[in-house]
Each structure stands twice: as C-alpha cells, then as structure tokens.
Chain A
Amino acid sequence: MPTLKAEFKKLLTIRSTYFWILIALIIVGIYSFYGEGFKDIVGFLQHPSKEQLPLFIAGTITQMATFIGLFGGIIALLHITHEYRYNTITYTLTIGNSRTKVLAAKFLSIFGFTLIYSVLMALIGIGLIFAGLHFSHHVLPHQDINYSTYFGKVVFFAEAYALVGLLFGVLIRNMAGSFAALFIIPGPVEALLSLVLRTNSVYLPFMALSQVVQPPFIGNGHPAHPDNNSGYLSAPKGALVFGAYLILGWVIAWYLFLRRDAT
C-alpha cells in the first residue's frame, strides 16, 4: 500500500503529467467542440441521412479514444522512464523490499489514473460536442446509442495504451526508445507487417486493439456485422487478442524487471 501511494504521488507531482493532460484536453476539445460539434466537418448534420445519424456521436467518441489513449500512453511511459533517466529508480527499489511489489504498484497506479483520466476526458469530449452544436445552432436529432458501451470502449482503449506505454518503458527504460516504440510499432511496423499478413493482420496487437473502438459502419446501406467480414474482428475478439499480447508482454517485463540491473 505505501508503494502504491508513492506511485500515485509520483504521477501527480510532476509537471509533465499535467502538460500531457492539457495537450490531450486541447486536442480532444478542438476535435469535439470545433471539428465535430461546431463545424460538423463530416457533414452529417448538413445532409442527414437516417442511417448515418447514429454514427455521429459513436464515431466521435471512438475517434476521441485514439487521442485519449495516446496521451495516456505517453504519461504512463514517462512514469517509468523518468525513474531511469533521473535515477530515482535507486530509491524506488531500495525503499521497497520487493521489485514485484514496485512493478505491481506502478501497474495499478497507471491503471487507476488512466481510468479516471479517460472517463473525465470522454465526458468532457462529449460535453464539448454538445457545446459546439449549441453554439453553431445545429440540432442533433435523437441518437440511439448505448453510451456505457462506448465509454467502456474508450476506457479500454486508453487503459490498453497506458499499459502498453508503461510496458515499453519497463522493457526499454530509455525515454527516446520507448517513445519511438509507442509511435512506430502501432503505426509503420504493423502497417508493414499487414502487407505480408493481409487479412490476418487483424491479429497484430494494435490492429486488434483498433477493432475494439471501430464505430459501427455502413455497408450497402446496412450496418455490417464485423465478424462476417474477413479482415475484421468483433470488439470482444479484438480485446481478447490484444489482451493476450499484453499479458505476454507483461510477463516478459516482470521477468526482466526482477533480473536486470537498475540502471
């Protein structure tokens, strides 16, 4: 418990945590308030079609998850790489009597932080969409959307990115290297692999994760069921595939955290 308390204190007593939250807020704010609510850049509201209307809020929420998750990942990554960069890891590991407890405390503190952070960001984001709509005098027709499902997806996505950010930090320990991994692996690396794997590329970790936050999409005028399409996974399947990678990664990270010199 003292270790967990200390990890929360670490997270909340450095400038970078608030800096990245602010950046996330600005981006989510611009996207939700201006892009979607005020400007309606996709044009759903100017030319409303019955089938597309449900996509308005759902699509915006799932798109927001990307920004929320990415910055959550950065905060988590910095939480561990700062320890190595500034050598405070020497204190962390000598004050506690178990490296496993230290790693568990880091995991739980990031998990708890991201839970609150992602819910708040999603709430703010949705609130800003409606604020944008209000100021632009757009009228949003009734939305038949299960908010709890979409909140769950945002939280899952944000937690996934945060735990991956922390994982990269534990494995790589170097800040620049961890940042590179967080940006390159989900993007260019998986994109290149998908050229080889083709439809099976959905089983790559971040491709699978992206299936969790896929908005419902329209195919020939009808909402398509993801499992009926090759190259797509349903959200639960995507979550399971990603979860398997995450567990494997954390087992390796835990082993290395115990074994390696604290440098």
Chain B
Amino acid sequence: MIKAKNLTKRYRGRNLRAVKTAVNNLSFEIETGKVTGFLGPNGAGKSTTMRLMLGLDNGKGETSYDGKSLKSYRQPSQVVGILLEAKAFHPTRTARNHLKVLAAAGNIPASRVDEVLEIVGLKDVAKDKPGKFSLGMSQRLGIAAAILGKPKYLILDEPANGLDPEGIAWLRQFLRDYAKDGNGVFVSSHLLSEMSQMADNVVVIGKGKLIADTSIDKLLSGSSSAVFVRVSQLGPLEKELEKAGLAYEKEGKGLLVRATATDNVGKLAHNAKLTVLELASHSASLEQAFLELTEGAAEYEAHKETEVKK
C-alpha cells in the first residue's frame, strides 16, 4: 500500500512575497489490487502531489511504499514506475535506447526492453527517434518506461492523453489487469467517463486539498440522481411534484425530477391519473459527481464572452 501523509508544497510565485500553497496537508492511500483515480480541476495540484510522492519536489509530508520510503529501496524501479509527462525523452535517442538507458540505471536486464516495447505496441518503431512520435505513441513509450522494472506500483499522470479510442481501451484493460495481478495503480485523468470505467477508488482534490477519498461506487451513490419522466400531460404532474416538494426541470418532452427514485415519480403520476409514456432513472455520472464535489475549487474558471465584455 502507498500511504501519502500530510503532503504539503508551498512555493513563491512571481511576486516573491506571496507564498502559494499548491498542495495542502494531503493524506490518502493507494491500495494494491485496485486502480485509484486521481481527479481535480486544472491547477488543483495533482502533478505536484505525484512529484511529492516520488521525492522529485521538496515539500513537507512523507510517502511510504509498503511502509518504507522510496529512497530506502535498493532498486526503486521495481517498486514504482512513473509516467509524469508523455514527452519525457530525448528526441534523438531511439525508443529502444531510451528504454535501455532506463534499464541500465535500474539494473533491469536489457531483454526486458523488447518485451515492454511489444507490450505497448511500439516494437516496429523501436529504432525510430521518438522526437517525431505522436502524442499517443509518446504515451505508449512512457507506459513502457513505467512498467520496465515490473514495479509493484504505477503512478501515471494523464496517461490517456492523446491516445486514440483503441489505445484508451487498451490502456484501460492493461491497467485493470496490472492491478488485478496484485499491483497498485494511481492514475490521474481528465477523461472522467474513462476513469469511471477504469478506477475502483478515487481521490479528488481541489486547490491542493483533499475533497474525497472513496470508491467510485460510493462517490456516485452520494451524488444527486434524477428521474426522467414523460407522461400524457405535463401540467398535472408538475402540480403533484410541487405538492411533494420535488425539484424538476423540463427536458425535451418530459421532466427531469431531481433527488428521487422512479417509484416515487411513478406513484405521483398514478395519483394524477396520467399515462406514463417513459420513466427512467438517471444515475449520476462521474462528471456530475466531480463537478458537484469540486464546485468552487477550480483554480482557473472560464467565463462567457458576454460576461468578459461587461
């Protein structure tokens, strides 16, 4: 298990007097056998957190890997594999040589290089210089580097960025299988639908603070669900909903009723002697849950053009 405890990172911005807190007393755990998603708005501190966990940035707090710090392992590459940036390679060093350098540093047999290149589907371009690789190919090379030492844990920052649908599906399955083998995977992504299919647990942060550390199922069940209903006449049902104190809004030819179940809405329609044409539960998506959780925690917020002009 990876235990991140009280991770804190402060730095001075351009105005040297102002101290900015990028990560604020963050604690969470990453279990083996599971994929843990790492979510947060842009600028929430996800990448900084990962760098703190790996000792790349100096800050406060500590991260233990099975109870020991990464530095205390003789071969850290067999403990954790990383992908923090897709294009982290020298553009004129061939893909194979890039991995050979990493293998040499980690005391990993050179034969493993060709294995991982085959796993990620880059065997045919092993002798090519990665400077001309697409973002998707670069991500695959990064994943190859991460799994080179067959590490127990993977820490991956946005590994699905730039991958085509086939690549995303491959990555999803690969990470799930990797976790199933008793390893732990910690992965950040902006592709929330992808994360909902990939992750078992999720850590959500906003402005450097922990917002949620839970399972995907619990996260979704805690978020507001809704019921879509289409009946022969909307008016009487609206009155029934108002009497019951349920919030609703018009959606297409029906109504979307918030925070309730299909049973309730069905009964209310029956009370109003209406014919129900369509009744469906809208379970919360991860995106909806994410937006609810991180409301007000976004570092950068976009505005409509009309608002800007005012």
Q: Is the interface of B mostly helix, strand, loop or mixed?
A: loop
When A6-B101, A6-B104 are in contact, do A98 and B71 touch as well, CB less than 8 Å? yes
Complex Cα distance, B262 from A149, in Å, reads 93
Q: Does B162 contact A (CB under 8 A)?
A: no
**Between-chain CB contacts (< 8 Å), 28 pairs:** A6-B102, A6-B105, A9-B104, A13-B93, A13-B94, A13-B97, A13-B100, A14-B92, A15-B92, A86-B90, A88-B88, A90-B51, A90-B54, A90-B56, A91-B88, A91-B145, A93-B54, A94-B77, A94-B80, A95-B106, A96-B76, A97-B72, A97-B73, A97-B76, A259-B58, A261-B56, A261-B57, A263-B57
Q: Does B4 contact A (CB under 8 A)?
A: no
A86 touches B87 (CB 8 A): yes
Contact residues, B96-123 vs A (CB, 8 A) = 97, 100-102, 104-107
B90 touches A88 (CB 8 A): yes
Q: Does A16 contact B (CB under 8 A)?
A: yes
> What residues of chain A lie closer than 8 Å to B58, measured between beta carbons?
259-261
> What residues of chain A lie closer than 8 Å to B72, measured between beta carbons?
97
Q: Does B70 contact A (CB under 8 A)?
A: yes
> What residues of chain A lie closer than 8 Å to B87, measured between beta carbons?
86-87
When A82-B90, A87-B85 are in contact, do A97 and B51 touch as well, CB less than 8 Å? no
Give residues in A with beta carbon < 8 Å to B.
2-3, 5-6, 9-10, 13-16, 82, 86-88, 90-98, 259-263
Complex Cα distance, B83 from A90, in Å, reads 9
B101 touches A9 (CB 8 A): yes
How many residues belonging to B are interface residues under a CB distance threshold of 8 Å?
36
Q: Which residue of B lies closest to A82 (CB)?
A: B90
Q: Does B14 contact A (CB under 8 A)?
A: no
Complex Cα distance, B105 from A96, in Å, reads 7
Complex Cα distance, B14 from A46, in Å, reads 64
Q: Does B74 contact A (CB under 8 A)?
A: yes
Q: Which residue of A lies closest to B77 (CB)?
A: A95
Min CB distance, A15 to chain B, in Å? 4
**In the complex, which of the residues B56, B71, B101 contacts A13, with contact meaning CB atoms closer than 8 Å?**
B101
Q: Does B133 contact A (CB under 8 A)?
A: no
Q: Does B91 contact A (CB under 8 A)?
A: yes
Closest 4 CB pairs of A and B: A6-B105, A6-B104, A13-B97, A87-B88
Q: Does B82 contact A (CB under 8 A)?
A: yes
Min CB distance, B194 to chain A, in Å? 24
Complex Cα distance, B100 from A5, in Å, reads 11
Q: Which residue of A lies closest to B9 (CB)?
A: A261
Complex Cα distance, B104 from A5, in Å, reads 6
> What residues of chain A lie closer than 8 Å to B91, measured between beta carbons?
86
Encode contact with A along B45-87: 1 for CB under 8 Å, 0 otherwise: 0000001001111100000000000111111110010101101
When A93-B55, A262-B56 are in contact, do A16 and B84 touch as well, CB less than 8 Å? no
A14 touches B93 (CB 8 A): yes
Complex Cα distance, B180 from A227, in Å, reads 74
> What residues of chain A lie closer than 8 Å to B102, measured between beta carbons?
6, 91, 95
